[in-house]
Structure 1
Amino acid sequence: MLPSLDLAHALTALLLYLPIAASAASLQPVTGFGTNPTNVGMYIYVPDKLASRPPILVVPHACHGKAQDAYTGNQYATLANTYGFIVIYPDSPNTADKCWDVSSPESLSHDGGGDAQGIVSMVKYALSKYNGDANRVFVTGTSSGAMMTNVLCGSYPDVFAAGAGFAGVAFGCFAGNGYDVWSDACAKGNIVKTGAEWAALVTAAYPGYSGFRPKMQVFHGTADTTLYPQNLQEEIKQWTTVLGLSVTASSMTNNTPVAGWTRYKYGSTFEAYSAQGVPHNIPTQESTVMAWFDLTCTSGSCYSRPSNGSSESAGGPMQSGATTLSTIVTTAMGSLTAAGSRNTADATLYG
């Protein structure tokens, strides 16, 4: 019998504090991996001992950071050594501030171009080269990396099985007619929509698609003054609608995964965490993410997309809407300014 998610969570948390054997594996750059319209950099970590059909985990970095920061800033490579999955660390081509393209119509559409398509090409390369499991591809990131997590799960529901974002915003919230758009209105939580309006932006990203939708997990601090806490509420409205769930939580658990954090579950395919008093520099909870992705599972009935790509276990197909890419672009509100400079010493977040 497979362990429960709570037990898997506990075991993963314990692993983070145990010594590990020396490994010859290291972070490696990859070029020529496929379609890459914006020249996103690819770095990959392949553990010495791979699972027979390894899952793929994508970890986009935050603003003002790089792939190496995402690699050293969390425990996913260490965990990959134990569980045999592959980790891809994309590197933003945006030399101005190293933020991800989460605003352009290209990234906000399936196979439309932008940074998103370059990252998906990395996934396809790794799946082919290492005989990866195409039904177990996951993505997690913080700040701009969380925004890209939402973009990838919205634009490429046929690729990703699940996402987990820390201190991000809803898909399409930063939409604008450009590659590197800063939306002050979105950042301050002034773009407020209904669930149906948010879901329509996701529909427009892949018109006609009615198959599986990735399950989602989102986290946000109540003291975030860079991307205001209202953005958590907008993500909740968006993804519960996309996944066919009630916007009212089915359960609430206090002090999880750490004291002061509250988990709100909306069925089996979406959950949100509100971190009391936590600012934008929110701590990554690797064990919680690992349990959500079921990445500690190495055999048997592990969580995955259905092999036939149907809407099974995804809350049903989302209803198609009339929203177009031009509508996504025109949702950008407020002044568009360059992202600020980095002001944290140990985190690559928006400044």
Structure 2
Amino acid sequence: MHLTAVTFAICAFATNAQQLSSKLTQVKDFGPNPRNVSMYIYVPKNLAAKPPILVVPHWCHGTAQQAFEYRPYASLGDQYGFISIYPDSPNKADQCWDVSSKETLTHEGGGDALGIVSMARWALQKYSGDKDRVFVTGTSSGAMMTNVLVGSYPDVFAAGSAWAGVPFGCFAGNGFGVWSDPCASGKLIRNGSEWAAIVKNAYPGHTGFRPKLQVLHGTADTVLYPQNFKEEIKQWTSVFGVSETPTHTTMDVPLKGWTRTKYGPNFEAYEAQGVTHDIPNQADLVMEYFDLKCTGNGTVCYSRTSGP
């Protein structure tokens, strides 16, 4: 892929000064992993009795270590008892994720997606995790992978949060490292039904629950153009069978100039006015959407079984 070196700006909005109870650890044998994606995991010292799992795929030109350092989810895991997983791309040319191959875009088909899913499954078994509370969030290429994982593996994930990505299948092509200029530049335009068909064809036998999703995008993004935000809205509203007309609109949330639109209970979108591809991650927003501050104690936390 040819995402420019936006790593520095993406990282600039976060701090690596985390006071942690544990350390990032590599796991080398965790199940089916046809593309040799590397697994790194953070398990807090005070782990919840039935811990949720948060998967954090990095951006292009980034690494698992950088995602760990420049996002606060490890320290938040210390506070709330959830596990975070940081996959590392095998694509050493640019560290971008495989979001293009037929394998990764197919349920149990292979590609980077299957390797990442194997990590979540391993952690659930190893730490008696909550299989109904597995989440994924990423920026740029990590946001593309977020779309891929909630689309290809609706039986694994409870929700996703995608920051400056593209629709599921937008980069589809012949291979694992395909760059799509038509998609990146916002020229790949389909109607909602066409986009939804790509998602549903990833797992034709799937019925029932689909992970809820939030997508966020800057209006001044010149790497993955803002049209991709509009295409994501068309895709996922159609997948969920709701109107492209928002049910609720809120201005200046979570930051001034950002607009949140909700489309029923399972999909929401944030348009960030004047923001480039270097969209500032808002961990509190992600935590709230995934309900990761909920630790039970008589309270029903969001999960695949509780619903929105």
TM norm. shorter chain > 0.5: yes
Deviations, residues 86-116 of structure 1 (Å, cap 9, x unaligned): 0000000001111000000000000000000
CA shift for structure 1 position 23 = 3.6
What is the match of residue 68 of structure 2? 71
The alpha carbon displacement at 1:208 in A equals: 1.6
Question: Are the aligned partners of 2:37 and 2:88 in contact in 1 as well (CA < 8 Å)?
Answer: yes
Q: Give the corresponding residue for 2:199.
A: 202
Q: Which has the higher contact order (CA 8 A, sep 6+)?
A: 1
Q: Deviations over 1:113-140 (max 9, x none)?
A: 0000000000000000000000000000
Q: TM-score, normalised by structure 2?
A: 0.93
Distance 1:286 1:268 in 2: 21
Deviations along 1:186-231, whole A, 9 cap, x unmatched? 0010001111000000111001211210000000000000000000
CA distance in 2 between partners of 1:289 and 1:245 (Å):
23
Q: Between Structure 1 and Structure 2, how many residues are aligned?
A: 292
Within 5 Å, which residues of 2 pair with 1:1-351?
22-299=19-296, 300-306=299-305, 313=307
Q: Residues of 2 paired with 1:87 and 1:199: CA distance?
A: 29
- Scaled by the length of structure 1, the TM-score of the pair is 0.81
Amino acid across the alignment from 1:72: E
Percent of matched pairs sharing the same residue: 64
Instruction: Give the C-alpha shift of residue 245 in structure 1.
Output: 1.4
Give the superposed CA RMSD.
1.5
Residues 218-275 of structure 1, C-alpha deviations (whole Å, 9 max, x = no match): 0000000000000000000111111121110011111110111010011221100000
Q: CA deviation at 1:78?
A: 1.0
Which residue type is aligned with residue 159 of structure 2?
A: A
The one-letter code matched in structure 2 to 1:167 is: A
Which blocks of at least 5 consecutive residues in structure 2 are unaligned?
A: 1-13
Question: Unpaired segments of 5 or more residues in structure 1?
Answer: 1-15, 308-312, 315-351
Q: Which amino acid aligns with 1:111?
A: E
Q: For 2:207 and 2:27, locate their aligned partners in 1 and report how far apart those are by CA, in whole Å.
A: 33
Q: Following the alignment from structure 2 to structure 1, what is the Cα–Cα distance between the partners of residues 110 and 20?
A: 36
Give the match's secondary structure for 1:81: helix
Q: Show the counterpart of 2:4.
A: none
Distance 1:109 1:211 in 2: 18
State the Cα distance separating 1:41 from its structure 2 match: 0.3
User: Distance in 2 between the 1:208 and 1:30 partners?
Assistant: 32
Deviation (angstroms), 1:24: 3.4
